Each structure stands twice: as structure tokens, then as C-alpha cells.
Amino acid sequence: MTYFGDVAALARKDILLELRSRDTLPAMLLFVVSTLVVFHFALPSDSSDLAAGGLLWVAIVFTALLGLTRAFAAEREQRLLEGLVLAPCDRSAIWLAKGASVMAFLLLAEAVALPAFALFFAPVDATLVAAVLLADIGIAAVGTLLAAMAAASRARELLLPLLFLPLAIPVIVGGVGATVAEEPARYLGFLALYDLLFAILSWASFEYVVTE
Amino acid sequence: MIVARGLERRFGSKRILRGLDLDVGERDFLVVTGPNGSGKSTLLGLCAGLLAPTGGTIDVAAERDEIGYLAHEPLVYRELTALENLDLYGRLYRVPERRERIGMLLERFLLWEARHERVSVFSRGMVQRLALCRALLHEPRLLLLDEPYTGLDPSGGTLLDSELEALRGARTIVAATHEPDRLGKLATARLDLARAA
Amino acid sequence: MWLRNNRGVALASTAALLLLGGISLAFFWVPDDVDQGFSQRIFYIHVPVALTAYACFGWGAWKALRLLWTREVRYDLESYTAVHMGVIFGILTLVTGSIWARISWGVWWSWGERQLVLFLVLFLFYSAYFMLRYSTEPGPRRERMSAVYALFGVVLIPVSFLAIRLAEGFIHPTVFTRDGPQMAGSMFFVFCVCLAGTLTLAGALYANELLGKRVDASLRELEEALA
């Protein structure tokens, strides 16, 4: 199917660009570890492990923001999005490919963050990993679309956090709930619902964000 | 091929194009002139479908895969090689016999030797030639060129001359330029946006 | 005939009538609530205002959908104005809710009040809507992005509400019990009058602002044509 062929070609391009420039991923890795260290100093000594669990999600969301801000950087600087939009491929393929690469970076950052968290604060269990995976899908889906919006505006780096954070609140609730509550299943289900709704919405509306 | 009536495009409160009427037939060669800010790039963007009119209408009888656009920006990824750039666009435009076509274009525009080098090390002339390759890659029926001679050295300019000479009559071409004399002999129609404003 | 030509005035006066009537009824006629006493009366303003805000956001999303569907420029202004109205009524919801909390329990804010928390989240979201519009050049691009964002907002409303409910599973905010009025017939009537009033007010403000914006736009076009 040419649709997935397009997605693959575009995703390959994004990964290749990151491997060559190597600026986004190292920054995300360093940022998430630094944030966790800051949390140690920010948590008074009688805070529970649960509080740390909550803060982990803050770290993930802000690290994701860092990655998302860079997501359309190349396209933005050189007006390359025009080149992609002109092509006969479905515009949602651009979203899917970019979202997939954002997700890849996020997973790599978490592959470092979760062990660091286990080392500094509290052990990590399968539920947490599942929650992180589900949350990543939602973050990548919505974040990619919003990043494209921000890229078209004047305020760019300032605008993306403002657009993203209100939409990230349900993800944080789902994630923290899955981490600390007694019945994590409800929260995992909620994350799946969020992913479904917003992925479909983002996929369908990306076309309208990048064209006139 | 292109029909515009009362075409208007506004940016914020500034109107760049106002009430433009245009008729470009198949295989015409339209040369668009005008000072900076008169809307040459805007007009091409409207023809390409990148911009939507804020007033009036424009109809282009070509699909996205039949339009080749050479923009103000080269639209190539600086951290990818020439070959990787063209391969990406070749896939997106579903170019048949992609490798052969890419090879042929790179050779024709004297970029074959540099095909494995990243665009970031290219000279301005090389980048422009690569952009031309990108625009011509899928053998578009409609070619939109925004100041195609920018950055080209004399030999590059000659290459472009012969390329346009070959395409004239076989394709529809709209070219915006600061050097109307160079394209003068090829043009079948002219549009001066300074006067149309 | 007169009604059609003077729609704005008709709307505004209907709104004034309904609201004045509704509020008077709410404060003087309706019986005290069994549990909460006099302070409960602010419910007659707080909830209609909240529902009106939802209605405005929904209307804005509908107009946004119409814009994406038909590409007609007028829907952009209509969607934007509806969202603007929604934010105004949203702020009113937060204010009236806060006053009610203060009167009832002595606190200006309670994380246990789901409606209040939801409106806080929505306020953040729709404020970003204005930031988005402010930092993008006017044109087809801005219209479409605003429309998509307005659609996201409407999906966010139920999702956020669900999230807030779920969050109580681990946040355990102090929930001040408020049974919600068991509405006797007279209370329901007054509630409906107030609701009709706030909706009409929103409609009147919407029509007024839309007219103003359209006049501004025509004026700008005239200035340009003459320049």
C-alpha cells in the first residue's frame, strides 16, 4: 500500500535526520535525567514514593515537550513542509510518520528515564511500563499535530507548551493513576480511550492544519 | 490549464494580489515580471495550491503529482545527501523507474559526482540545481518556477536554458523572473504584476 | 417585520427580561433549599452560566466544522466569537462557583468541585486558543488551525471531566458534600427561566460582537480599497 510506503519513507527521513544532527535525542536524555535529579531536591524527606511517581509523569510530559518542539524544526527552518504538502501523498501520512519518530525518541528517552527512576526513587513495575507506552501514543499523536500548528505561528517555542499542557492533563491523570492507585486497570483503560479519541481526531484533522 | 478570475490574496491587512484575471493554456510559457513584493511568489504559490485565495477564484487543471514547483526555498533537506533527497521525493511522487530517473537528472545537472554528499556542503549553485532536479523529477505537466536563475553560476544558467528550451511546447510553464530578457525568446505570454496591481 | 430588522435589540431585551425575572424569582420567590439555606440560590446563576458556556463552546465547534466543510470565511468569525463568549461565561462560572464555595464552606477554591476544576482546565485550553490566533497571521491557515483546535476543545470537555473524576481516586480532595438541589417544581421553573436568560444573553452578546467584527472588517476593506 502506497500510504504506508509513504509513511515509511517519511519516517525513515526523520530518523536519518536525527542520526545525522544528533541534537534532539541527547537533549531529551539529559533533560529527563536532570529533571529526576532536581526532583530529589524538590521532594521533602517525608514525601512518599507515590509523590515521586507523580513527578515522574511531569518529567515525561516535559521531556516530550522538548522533543516535540524540535519535531518540525527542520521543516520549519527551511519551509520544507511545503515540499511535503505539495507531494501527492495523503497529508495524514506526514502526521503518522512524524508521530512515529516522536514516539521512537520518547521511548528511547524513557528507556533511560525509567531505570534512572528505579535507581533514584522506587521500583518500576509492568503496570507503569504499560502506562508509559499508552501515554506515549497519546502524547505523540496530539503533540505532533500541535507542533505543526505551532510551527506555522510566530511564537513557536512559546506556543507549543500552551497548546499542549491542557491536553496533557488527562494523560497525566491516567499515568499517575496507573502508577499509584490501587486499581490501575481503570486508568490504563482511560489512557487507551484518550489515545483512540485523540489519535483519530489528530489523524483526520492534520490535513487541515498544514494546508490552506 | 490555469484560469483565475478576480484573484486576490491578502496577508494580514496587506493585499498582495488584487483582482487578477489570468488564462494560461496548455503548453503556454508565461513569464511573470514585477518588482519585489508585487506578488510573483504569491501567484506561483496560488497556482501550486499551497496558498488559498482570499478573494476571487483560481482553477488549475493539474493534480498534485502533475505539478512541479521550484520555490524561493530549494525545499531540500540540508542534512540529507542529494541522492537521499531525490529518493524521498521520488517515492512520494511515485516516480516510475526512480533510480534511473534520479541518476539521469543528477548527471544532466552535473551533480552525479556529489550525489553522496550532504546538501549542507553544497554551493548555492549546486543547491539550486538540486532543487531543479526535485521539481523536474516526476515529469510534471505544469512547471512553476520562482526565479529559477537565482544562485546559478553561468554554466548552471546555460543548463537551465537548454532544459527550458527542451521543455517549451511540451509542458505548461509559468516562470517568475527578474531577468525577463533571458526567458523572453521562450515566452508565449507575459504578465507584469507591477502594471496589473 | 420589526423583529427581523431589530434582532439585536429584541435579543437583548428578551435576555434582560428573562434574567431580571429569573434572578428576582430566584432570590425572592423560590423557597429555601432544605440543606443549604439561602446561599444555595447562587445555583440559579452558577449552573445556567456553566451550561451556557458549554453551549457556546459547542456552537463554536459546530461553526468550526462548517468552516472546514465549506471553506466559507464567515464561519471563522462566528466560531471565534462563539469561543470568546464561551470563555466569558467560563470565567463567570469560575467566579460564581468560587463565591458559592466561599459562602457555603468558607473557601475560595475547592479541588473537590469537579465542575470548577473542569472549567479551570477549559479556561487554560481556550486561552491557548486565543494565543494561537494572536500569534498567527490572519488568513486561511489561521482559520483552519483555529477550527481544528476548537474541535479538539469539544472532545476535551468530556475527556477532562472523566479525568477529573478518575483523579479523585488518588488525589482525595476534600469534597464538601452538596447534595445538589432536589428540585421541586417551582425551583425547576426558576432554573429554566434563568437558563433561558443566560442563553439569550449569550446569543445577544454573540450577535452584537459578530456584528461589530463584521463592521470592522468591512471598514478595513473600504480603507484599503480607497488607499
Q: What is the spatial distance between Cα C227 and Cα C222, in angstroms, rounded to a whole number? A: 9
pLDDT score recorded for residue C133 = 95
The secondary element (H helix, E strand) that includes residue A188 is: helix A184-210
Report the 10 Å Cβ neighbour count for C66: 17
SS3 assignment, position C5 = helix
Query: Of A123-137, A159-173, B126-140, C94-108, where does mean pLDDT reach its minimum?
Result: C94-108
Four-CA torsion C63, C65, C68, C74, nearest 10 degrees = -10
pLDDT score recorded for residue A13 = 95
Going across the sheet that includes B29-33, the strands are B67-70, B142-146, B172-176, B29-33, B189-192
Question: Nearest-CA residue of chain B relative to C223?
Answer: B13
Give chain A's mean pLDDT: 93
Give chain C's mean pLDDT: 88
- Backbone angle region of A38, left / alpha / beta, with phi > 0 → left and psi within -120 to 50 → alpha: alpha
pLDDT surpassing 80 at residue C27: no
Q: Which residues of B touch C224 (CB under 8 A)?
A: 13, 15
For residues A116 and A33, the answer to whether their CB atoms sit within 8 Å is yes
pLDDT score recorded for residue C6 = 74
Query: Which chains have 3+ CB pairs within 8 A of B?
Result: A, C
Buried b (16+ CB within 10 A) or exposed e, C41-51: bbbbbbbbbbb
Low-confidence ranges of chain B (pLDDT < 70): 195-197
pLDDT surpassing 80 at residue C29: no
pLDDT confidence bin for C4, thresholds 50/70/90: low
Name the residue among A159, A201, A209 with its Cβ closest to that of C135: A159
pLDDT confidence bin for A59, thresholds 50/70/90: very high
pLDDT confidence bin for A202, thresholds 50/70/90: very high
- Closest to C64 (Cα-Cα) out of C49, C50, C82: C82
pLDDT surpassing 70 at residue C36: no
Q: Which residues of A touch B67 (CB under 8 A)?
A: 86
CB contact under 8 A, A16 and B73: no
pLDDT score recorded for residue C177 = 63
CB contact under 8 A, C160 and A183: no
The secondary element (H helix, E strand) that includes residue B56 is: strand B55-60
CB contact under 8 A, C137 and B11: yes
pTM equals 0.93
pLDDT score recorded for residue B123 = 95
pLDDT score recorded for residue C178 = 62
As a whole number of Å, the CA-based R_g of chain A is: 17
Q: Where are the domains of chain A?
A: 2-210
CB contact under 8 A, B75 and A74: no
Percentage of chain A exceeding pLDDT 90: 77
Percentage of chain A exceeding pLDDT 70: 100
Q: What is the spatial distance between Cα C134 and Cα B131, in angstroms, rounded to a whole number? A: 34
Q: Identify residues of B whose CB sits under 8 angstroms from chain C CBs.
A: 10-13, 15, 51-52, 54
pLDDT score recorded for residue C217 = 86
ipTM over cut 0.90: yes
pLDDT score recorded for residue C156 = 97
A124 interface with C at CB cutoff 8 Å: no
pLDDT score recorded for residue C185 = 77
- Angle between helix C7-24 and helix C185-226 axes, rounded to 10 deg: 150
Tens digits of residue pLDDT in C38-97: 777 888 889 999 999 999 999 999 999 999 999 999 999 999 999 999 999 999 999 999
CB contact under 8 A, B10 and C137: no
CB contact under 8 A, A13 and B49: no
CB contact under 8 A, B12 and C139: yes
C-alpha dist (Å) from residue B50 to B40, B92, B148, C167: 14, 17, 18, 44
pLDDT score recorded for residue C5 = 67
Higher pLDDT, B102 or A47: B102
Q: How many CB pairs under 8 A join A and B?
A: 71
pLDDT surpassing 80 at residue C33: no
How many residues would you count in chain B?
197
Q: What is the spatial distance between Cα C24 and Cα C21, in angstroms, rounded to a whole number? A: 5
Instruction: Pull the grid cell for residue B45.
Output: 504559490
Question: Nearest-CA residue of chain C relative to B10?
Answer: C139
pLDDT score recorded for residue A50 = 81
Higher pLDDT, C227 or B183: B183
pLDDT surpassing 90 at residue A4: yes
